[in-house]
Amino acid sequence: MTESRRFMVLDQDLQRYLDEAAGLHGALFERPWSRTALEDLLATPGTAGAAMLDPDGEPRLAGFVLFRSLGDFAEILTVAVAPDHRRRGLGRLLMRHAVQMARESGAERLLLEVQDGNLPAIRLYEDLGMEAFDRRRNYYKSGNGGHADAIMMQLSFHD
């Protein structure tokens, strides 16, 4: 575990917080990932995750990131911060950690997809230097039975 900012701690072993991570994912996303789904992902070669903890009292999960390296490229599978911990830089810290891991894995670029209109996430990724390069029409199921596009974003490590 390493101290990453005052009152918050980054733990590079997401495996230890799977129940809380599944709970947070389920509360935030239309297609929730169960503890088993997260466990299966983490067991896939090249996949890793990190947790941001609020160590006040019993450590509680404030956010997490899940990513994988697939040779030439790496990808963010998900990143989430609990609503009561947002806008304190935790998402940026989790993403910077994933970017660093991607670089160290030897990937040439980092990819992700984000729902069109998810401005907090899009701004966060742009803030890290990521750029949109493609769009997948109606990729996500959104509220009211509708669908939303996915925006593909990338960060190249060789520009």
Ligand X SMILES: CC(C)(COP(=O)(O)OP(=O)(O)OC[C@H]1O[C@@H](n2cnc3c(N)ncnc32)[C@H](O)[C@@H]1OP(=O)(O)O)[C@@H](O)C(=O)NCCC(=O)NCCS
Residue 118 engages ligand X in binding (rule: CB under 6 A): yes
Smallest separation, CB 118 to ligand X (Å): 5
> Which stretch in 11-19, 36-44, 98-106, 118-126 sits in contact with ligand X by CB under 6 A?
118-126
What is the closest distance, in whole angstroms, from the C-beta atom of residue 10 to ligand X in the complex? Answer: 13
CB atoms within 10 A of CB 10: 20
Distance CA 137, CA 89 (A): 31
* Member of 92, 96, 103, 109 binding ligand X (CB under 6 A): 92
On whether the CB atoms of residues 62 and 94 are closer than 8 A, the answer is no
Looking at beta carbons only, is 16 or 88 nearer to ligand X?
88
b/e string for 39-78 if b means 16 or more Cβ within 10 A?
A: eebbeeeebbbbbbbbeeeebebbbbbbbbbeeebbbbbb
Residues 11-30 that bind ligand X (CB under 6 A): 28
The Cα–Cα gap between 36 and 76 comes to 19
- Is 125 among the residues known to form the active site? yes
Q: Which residues are catalytic?
A: 113, 125
Positions in the binding site for ligand X (CB under 6 A): 28, 78-81, 86-92, 114, 118-121, 123-124, 127
